[in-house]
Chain A
Amino acid sequence: MTLKINGLSSGYRQRTVLQQVSLPSIEAGLLVALIGPNGVGKSTLVRSLAGLQPAAGQVQLAGADLLKLSPRERQHNVAYLPQTLPQVTSLVVYEMLLAAAHLGAEYAQEQIETAITRVAQSLGITALMLRRLSELSGGQRQMVGLAQVLVRQAPLLLLDEPTSALDLRWQLNVLEVVRRHVQESQAIALVASHDLNLALRFADQVIMLAPGGECRMGKPLEVVTAQSLRACYGVEGRVETCSQGFPVVLVDGVADQQRQ
């Protein structure tokens, strides 16, 4: 299975955000980070693949064109995690996963319990499962949203800022779980993120969207470089290797306006 985006355009009524985005094909089993500055279209790209926003172009997933599938057909292929989950609901976490499993996956009745338990254990949220969503913190809600995505067993995971509300330990934990899930079930995860260090550490491939519609995809260290940081984010920065051997981005300051 591969994901191939070809000539994807999308936007809002007045404004085109993505224009003719084409990317090399993405293989199954990969975690792909989607990075770029604010407003460049990370969320738009993710949302248009999820069918939440009208888009033109071609998105081939395992031979089918995602953009042409009906909502019902699409939901078997794509699982989407929005940036935030609603705070005001008396739903119990377990019920949220039940609803997602009933609507979004083809489990036999007796498999549902096992699947939910497995996802809860892998994310380490077993203790939250019988509590109401409204009692949970922002980070915990984000974990619950991710659990809803994982329980659906879709081949393409679209995660919009899945770590934005999480503390340091949970950031690592969540991306580790997503990476393992993707490898084990030969799925593809597209993760929009602002955190370049997490992207460098966990992503197999990085897509960098730059203002002006340019986009690059490749190995993390090929895409995130001093030049691309300057061109894309407008900062002077370096990519160095820390004492543990992980690449890290260090930002020295805002780039000189003339050189941009």
Chain B
Amino acid sequence: MMQIKHDALARGYKRLWWRRVILLLVMAAVLITSFIYDLSVGPMGLSWWEVAQLASGWVEGDAAQRVVVMELRLPYALMAVLVGASLGLAGAEMQTALNNPLASPFTLGIGAAATLGASLVIVFGPNWGGLSQMVLLPLAAFVFAAASCALLMLVGRALGTEVHTLVLFGIAMLFGLNALVGLVQFLADAEALQQIVFWTLGSLARASMERVGLLAGVLAVCLLFALRQAWAMTMLRTGEDQARSLGVPVGRLRASVLLRVSLLTGVATAFVGEVGFIGLVGPHIARLLLGEDHRFFLPGSALAGALLLSLASIASRGLLPGVVLPVGLVTALVGVPLFIGLILARGKRAGL
């Protein structure tokens, strides 16, 4: 009798485990579909099947088709997937480490810091050090994002374990940085102002294969290190005291999370500008679907973020014929209905 009950519990969990693995696979499959469809959207009139054949090298295609798909659309679509995944992962880690469902790279000022760095270059420094704006602009965005994360880390260390204060500090930093960006905009001439506004709307048009490769590398390394701390982060969700009494070095965990967040957000934002919303909502979608066992939650958040931005990328070119809308705008337009739908579907089980 005891033996039967025992097996029932272990089997029950195995089923839950499989459900989560399958959900992850389904998310990955939907992402791949969305990615291929993203490649096919455009005035060339290629079907998704033709595109899939071209991209995988099965069919040669004519030269013009190859150039459009491989050199224009491929970096664009890959960038959408990678930036989405990076922001989703960064948001998930932040929400756990700071124990706050509203934490994300953009709600705590890291995105605003990147914007400040970019605007300073746009307005004051087109020729600093002989570097072109193509290099200088992402570099400044990255440096500022990393610096804001470092500041969060230092404040965190000074405050000890009071994690809510850290979130408040991040929000204060957001407002301060936005004011500084406003000041720079006020001082800028009309042309520079337009450039800054475009930056804050977020755009995938600056994608290139080198940048895709760099971001893919950063994402792979960060995801690997994050997964190594998956049990510790899961434990942190059952309470900070519980985690600390289990030997989880909570302070060090938080510092390593912020380091990864600064890398992910800094590099992603440097290449595409501000794409808010994904770092906040990607993790919530993953939480609704997969729960908070971080072995599933972390990759799930990356997948959810990637899917959101990939869908946004499709919509940014498909909504208005002949116009490419800034993808940062579209993320909210696509993401909000999707998110609300999920919440309504799952009702109170959300635990948000």
Contact = CB atoms under 8 A, between A and B. Distances in A.
A52 B244 contact: yes
Given A95-B293, A103-B247, A90 B9 contact: no
Contacts of B247: 71-72, 74-75, 103-104
A94 B11 CA distance: 12
Interface residues of B, number: 33
Contact of A100 (B12, B241, B246, B349): B246
Contacts of B10: 113, 117
Nearest to A113: B10
B242 A80 contact: yes
B6 A117 contact: yes
Nearest to A103: B246
Given A71-B244, A99-B235, A102-B231, A89 B249 contact: no
A79 interface: yes
A89 B351 contact: yes
Nearest to A92: B291
Interface of B is mostly: helix
Contacts of B238: 85-86, 89, 91, 96, 99-100, 133, 148
Interface string A132-174: 1111000000000100100010000000000000000000000
Given A117-B9, A117-B10, A132-B349, A52 B248 contact: no
Given A90-B351, A91-B293, A94-B13, A121 B239 contact: no
B232 interface: yes
Given A85-B242, A103-B247, A132-B351, A91 B292 contact: yes
Given A51-B244, A75-B247, A91-B292, A86 B237 contact: yes
Contacts of B351: 88-90, 132, 134
A78 interface: yes
B221 interface: no
Given A117-B10, A126-B9, A86 B16 contact: no
Nearest to A69: B247
A82 B292 CA distance: 21
B282 to A, nearest CB: 15
Nearest to A86: B239
A244 interface: no
A251 interface: no
B6 A114 contact: yes
Interface in A91-140: 91-92, 94-96, 98-100, 102-104, 113-114, 116-118, 120-121, 126, 129-130, 132-135
7 pairs of A and B residues whose beta carbons are closest in the complex: A75-B247, A80-B245, A134-B351, A90-B351, A95-B293, A99-B234, A72-B247
Interface of B: 2, 5-6, 9-10, 12-13, 16, 101, 231-232, 234-235, 237-239, 241-242, 244-249, 287-288, 291-293, 349-352
Given A90-B288, A94-B13, 5 more contacts: A52-B244, A80-B242, A117-B6, A121-B5, A132-B291
